[in-house]
Chain A
Amino acid sequence: MTKRLLAAALVAGFLAACVASALQFALTSPLILAAEKYETAAAPAPVHAFANPLIVLAHAGHDHGADEAQWQPAPGLPRLAFTALATLVSGVGYALLLGAVLVAAGRTVTPSEALTFGIGGFLSASLAPAIGLPPELPGMAAAALEARQLWWVATALATAAGLYLVAIRRGPAAVALGLALIVAPHVWGAPHGPEEISAMPPVFAAQFTARSLAIAFAFWAVLGLAFGWAWGAVEGRQGVARQTGVTA
């Protein structure tokens, strides 16, 4: 069971990462590069010029300014390669979680069942957090990172638990509790940063948000379908191996 789960997750993560990487290169990476031009143009370079050298402001200017001294992938192909690698690592990570949930829920894993759970993953980890924290381009003002990460994780977990209660448990109490869990993070409210006027054309931000969610949907759909398919394919191979083992 463990081997089968790991193998199916590797296959599903790889296939979803292939699709998502291609879509990211075509749709979101060009927008990120364009936004970074505005970000570097608007970076408050003189911050250090008049500041007391003994006082180092945490997050002075923008993190990117501080990051530039650190390692980062070279522009062009290396950057695309590292983005693809991060997509692969995350794809396998999400596939492992999807498989763990499917097995824990005691479902018979088929492509359609895994697709249904994959769409649940999209709703929990992509759509629900995006309501409070829309996908943002580099250079857009935002609240403190830790507060946003905490809200993001809490929202994803609450939405997933809520969907489980509403769609699988289904009792009146479960549905009520599930709906409350889904709504609660948004009533609580996502941490918001200052509203800044940016030189970046707003169409960039709008395009980025829509494309980001579209890619996330394609990613989760492929992840679910591929996990269901790979789960069956691994079983087929194990069955054949067992049969040949018996006859041999």
Chain B
Amino acid sequence: MVAITRSLSPALAGERLSAVLLAAALGVGLLFVSGFAPVVALHNAAHDWRHAHNFPCH
């Protein structure tokens, strides 16, 4: 258990860094599409979600 904790704590590098960067980029992309994209079709499709979750909408 101690070994696991110690292996997680060093500076963000290698596999951990790439996992974090990939997940963050994917996450921001998905949220942009569903919550912010100005394309009318995307806005209309996600309209009720945007209102319900307080994304600024039209």
- With a cutoff of 8 Å between Cβ atoms, the chain A residues found around residue B47 in the complex are 72, 83, 138
Would you give the 0/1 interface string for B25-45, flagging 1 where the beta carbon is closer than 8 Å to chain A?
011111101111010110111
Contact A148 B56 (CB under 8 A): yes
- With a cutoff of 8 Å between Cβ atoms, the chain A residues found around residue B4 in the complex are 108
B8 at interface (Cβ–Cβ under 8 A)?
yes
Known contacts A70-B41, A93-B29, A106-B8: does B51 contact A28 (CB below 8 Å)?
A: yes
Q: Which residue of B lies closest to A27 (CB)?
A: B52
User: Do most interface residues of chain A lie in helix, strand or loop, or is the interface mixed?
Assistant: helix
B58 to chain A, nearest CB (A): 4
A32 at interface (Cβ–Cβ under 8 A)?
yes
A1 at interface (Cβ–Cβ under 8 A)?
yes
- With a cutoff of 8 Å between Cβ atoms, the chain B residues found around residue A89 in the complex are 30, 33-34, 46
Known contacts A89-B34, A92-B30, A145-B58: does B44 contact A136 (CB below 8 Å)?
A: no
Contact B35 A133 (CB under 8 A): no
- With a cutoff of 8 Å between Cβ atoms, the chain B residues found around residue A148 in the complex are 56
B40 to chain A, nearest CB (A): 4
Known contacts A93-B27, A93-B31: does B58 contact A28 (CB below 8 Å)?
A: no
Q: Which residue of B lies closest to A83 (CB)?
A: B48
Known contacts A70-B41, A71-B44, A149-B56: does B51 contact A90 (CB below 8 Å)?
A: no
- With a cutoff of 8 Å between Cβ atoms, the chain A residues found around residue B49 in the complex are 24, 83, 86-87, 90
Known contacts A71-B40, A86-B34, A93-B26: does B54 contact A106 (CB below 8 Å)?
A: no
Q: How many residues of B contact A (CB 8 A)?
A: 43
B2 to chain A, nearest CB (A): 11
Contact A28 B23 (CB under 8 A): no
Stretch from A2-10, A50-58, A159-167, A239-247 forming part of the interface with B: A2-10
Contact B54 A129 (CB under 8 A): yes
Contact B23 A70 (CB under 8 A): no
CA distance A10 to B14 in the complex (A): 23
Contact with B8, one of A82, A108, A152, A208 (Cβ below 8 angstroms):
A108
Among B12, B19, B49, residue most surrounded by chain A Cβ atoms (within 10 Å): B49
* A-B contact list, 27 entries, CB within 8 Å: A2-B15, A5-B19, A9-B23, A9-B27, A24-B52, A67-B44, A67-B58, A71-B44, A72-B47, A83-B48, A89-B30, A90-B53, A93-B27, A94-B27, A96-B24, A96-B26, A97-B24, A97-B31, A99-B23, A103-B19, A106-B8, A129-B54, A135-B54, A138-B58, A148-B56, A212-B52, A216-B54
Q: Which residues in A have some Cβ–Cβ distance to B below 8 Å?
A: 1-2, 4-6, 9, 24, 28-29, 32, 62-64, 67, 70-73, 79, 82-83, 85-87, 89-90, 92-97, 99-100, 103-104, 106-108, 126, 129-130, 133-138, 142, 145, 148-149, 152, 208, 212, 215-216, 219
